[in-house]
A and B are shown apart, each in its own frame.
Chain A
Amino acid sequence: MTKRYTIAVGDKTYIIGVQSLDASNRYRVLVGGRVYELKVLTEEETEMEIPAVEVIEAEKEKPALAHKPPELLPRSRKSEPPEMPRTAGQSEVAPRELHAPMPGVIIEISASPGARVSRGDVLFVLEAMKMKNPIRSPRDGVVEAIHVQPGQNVNFDDLLLTYRDEGA
Chain B
Amino acid sequence: MDLLTTLFAGLNSLTWGATLMLAIGGGLIYLAIVKEYEPVLLLPIGAGAILANLPLSPLVGEDGLLGILYNAGVANELFPLLIFVGIGAMTDFGPLLERPHMLLLGAAGQFGIFGTLFLALLLGFDINEAASIGIIGAIDGPTSIYVSNLLAPHLLGPIAVVAYSYMSLVPIIQPPIMRALITKKERRIRMPYSENPVSRRTRVLFPILVTVVVGLLVPMAIPLIGMLMLGNLMKESGVVERLVGASSNEIANVVTLFLGLAIGATMQADAFLRKETLLILILGIFAFGLDTAAGLLFAKFLHWITRGPLNPLIGAAGISAFPMAARVVQKVAQEEDFENFLLMHAMGANTAGQIASVVAGGVVLALFAAR
Residues in chain A within 8 A of chain B (CB atoms)? 80-81, 89, 101-103, 120, 128-131, 133-134, 136, 138, 156-157
- Cβ-defined partner of B343 (8 Å) among A133, A134, A138: A133
Decide yes or no: A129 and B193 within 8 Å by CB, A101-B341, A134-B338, A138-B339 being known contacts. Answer: no
Q: Once the chains are docked, how many angstroms separate the CA of A57 from the CA of B240?
A: 68
Chain A residues positioned under 8 Å from B95 (CB to CB): 129
| Residues of chain B with a CB closer than 8 A to A130's CB | 323
Would B343 and A129 count as touching, CB distance under 8 A? yes
Say yes or no for B183: interface residue by CB 8 A criterion: yes
Chain B, residues 321-332, CB within 8 Å of chain A (1/0): the string is 001001100100
Give the contacts of B328-371 with A (CB-CB under 8 A): 330, 334, 338-339, 341, 343-344, 347
Using A80-B183, A102-B344, A103-B344 as known contacts, list a sample of 17 further A-B pairs with CB atoms less than 8 Å apart, ordered by residue number in A.
Answer: A101-B339, A101-B341, A102-B343, A120-B338, A128-B343, A128-B344, A129-B92, A129-B323, A129-B343, A131-B330, A131-B343, A133-B330, A133-B341, A133-B343, A134-B338, A156-B195, A157-B193
Q: Which of B92, B193, B338 contacts A102 (CB 8 A)?
A: B193
Q: How far is the CA of A129 from the CA of B90 in the complex (A)?
A: 11
* Contact across chains for A131 and B327 when beta carbons are under 8 A apart: yes
Q: Do residues B193 and A101 form an inter-chain contact, with CB atoms below 8 A?
A: yes
Q: Residue of A at shortest CB range from B327? A: A131
How distant is the Cα of A128 from the Cα of B334 in the complex, in angstroms?
15
* B185 A80 Cβ-Cβ under 8 A: yes
Main secondary structure of the interface of B (DSSP, over half): helix
Minimum C-beta distance from A122 to chain B (A)? 9
Give the bracket for the number of chain B residues in contact with chain A: 10 to 19
Q: A136, B184: Cβ atoms under 8 Å?
A: no
Chain B residues whose CB sits within 8 angstroms of the CB of A81 once the complex forms: 185
CA distance A131 to B328 in the complex (A): 10
- Which residue in A128, A129, A136, A156 is a CB contact (below 8 Å) of B338? A136
Residues of B within 8 A of A156 (CB): 193, 195
- Enumerate chain A residues within 8 angstroms of B323, measured Cβ to Cβ: 129-131
On chain A, the residues within 8 Å of B92 by CB distance are 129
The minimal Cβ–Cβ distance linking B354 to chain A, given in whole angstroms, is 14
Chain A minimum-CB-distance residue to B186 = A80
Measured between alpha carbons, how far is A86 from B343 in the docked complex, in Å? Answer: 23
Return chain A residues, CB-CB under 8 Å to B347: 129
Question: Interface digits, B264-293 against A, CB 8 Å rule (1 contact, 0 not)?
Answer: 000000000000000000000000000000
Contacting residues, chain A, for B338 (C-beta < 8 A) = 120, 134, 136
- B133–chain A nearest beta-carbon distance, Å: 31
Indicate whether A102 sits within 8 Å of B327 (C-beta atoms), given known contacts A80-B184, A156-B193.
no
Chain B window 42-60, contacts with chain A (Cβ cutoff 8 Å), 1 for yes, 0 for no: 0000000000000000000
